[in-house]
Amino acid sequence: MSTIELTRFKVAEEKTAELLAARPEMLADFAADRKGFLGARLIQLPGGEWLDVVDWATPEDYAASRGKGANLPGIARFFAAIDELITAEEGTTEDS
């Protein structure tokens, strides 16, 4: 089992390129700074909405990451492109 972070947010059309350009550095910052970070997938939805699916080794790793916020430049740049947070949820995988 692992912990899954599901974050749905909106990005203005004119900021989409900025969001995508910031993504690789954000992922590199997570890999370097966030214990238990296993990977992430960014999914574009209709209407300027996005879903970020992030895999964590444990719920504690996810909680520690949330506590750090946008503490590194790549993470801050990615977060700055987000216009509205819609939902943030946590789940657990049940398949092996």
Architecture of domain 3-92: 2-Layer Sandwich (3.30)
For the chain, give every domain's residue range: 3-92
Q: What is the largest CA-CA distance in the chain?
A: 40
Residue 2: the pLDDT is 92
pLDDT in tens, 11-55: 999 999 999 999 999 999 999 999 999 999 999 999 999 999 999
The contacts found for 29-34 with CB under 8 angstroms, 24 or more apart, are 29/72, 29/73, 29/74, 29/75, 30/54, 30/65, 30/75, 32/72, 33/68, 33/71, 33/72, 34/61, 34/64, 34/65, 34/68
